[in-house]
Amino acid sequence: MNFPKPLKKEDNVFLLCPSSPVIAEEDIKKCSEIIENMGYNAVIGKSLYENYGGYMAGSAKIRVDDLHEAFSREDIKGIFCVKGGYSASQLLDKLDYNLIANNPKVFAGYSDITNLHIVFNQKCNLGTYHGPMVKSNMFNDFNEYTEKSFFEAIECSEWKYKEPENKSLSLLNAKNINDSVSHIKGILTGGNLAIIMASLGTPYEIDTKDKILFLEDVDEKIGSLDRMLTHLKYSGKLDDCNGIILGNFADCKNTYETINNQIYELDELLKDFFGNYDKPVIYGMESGHAKPYMATLPLGAECKINIKTKEITFTK
């Protein structure tokens, strides 16, 4: 996998909205100021000024043109997505994948940006970063942990995932894992569960063969999560991968009435679903939509998991 060189101070960083719009014009100026305060030069894409239908940052052509400009310009070294939302999938059949593969840049974002991570990894051999976005995370939530993880992921060739204080990883299906299995490894892939589900059966379907699959989501009912995980199982994606890492499932609650005040929330669903799965399932990684912590993950890097200690190492 081709991971671009780390960013340097005074590098040009292109800001764009591949999905939903910024809305407030004053936020565009704030995006630029944040990037300048990091020591980079902000280049603002046309998509930041566009709003089409309320949920699209302009037409698909405008957003594709932004991506093509960012990847084709030699003076652009990084591409930061400003926010997620909806509609990045509209771009997939319009992108020049040869252009992107031949002009690798640091590319960061998450949520609906999962659409682009999958195709950049698989069609362009480009390593990308599942990490904070400018408006979504850097306005008010770019705390020390999130910032350090972001730059560590971009700058280091090998490093270990570090948990925030008072947070810990767990192995959901420990009773089902052979004691002789001490490590698993594979190329890291994945992102938002709903977006991954939408990729199935298309030319842009995620490939999990011999990989470590990372999953996260936001604002989904328990029943919807159950349905999506079951579909992922039936599609063979869970059988194909070497193991699973579960990140945040922010605001994913059970809104259904239960009998005798029975507790059946996210933890119970995940334990039921993965309890008999015969490959390691690590739960509790601080990456996804939950605030304030967000670890940046290098999609396309080798991920090695120590099953006994739950230590996770990434190597580009």
**Nearest to 193, CA basis, from 95, 266, 100:** 266
Tell me how far the alpha carbon of residue 180 is from its chain's centroid: 31
* Both structure tokens of 244: 């699973």
Each residue of 141-173: b (16+ CB within 10 Å) or e?
ebeebbbebbebbbeeeebebebbeeeebebbb
168 assigned to active site? no
Question: Cα 19 to the chain's mean position, in Å?
Answer: 14
Three-class HEC string of 93-157: CCCCHHHHHHCCCEEEECHHHHHHHHHHHHHHCECEEECCCHHHHHCCCCCHHHHHHHHHHHHCC
Catalytic, out of 111, 136, 149, 287: 111
Q: E strand or H helix at 305, and its extent?
A: strand 302-306
Give the tokens for residue 270. Answer: 């995940």
- Name the residue among 183, 171, 235 with its Cα closest to residue 208: 235
111 is catalytic: yes
Catalytic residue among 19, 117, 199, 216: 216
Q: 190 near 214, Cβ under 8 Å?
A: yes
Given a contact cutoff of 8 angstroms between Cβ atoms, the answer to whether 107 and 135 are in contact is: no
CA nearest to 288, candidates 85, 57, 109 = 109
68 is catalytic: no
Q: Which residues are catalytic?
A: 111, 216, 289
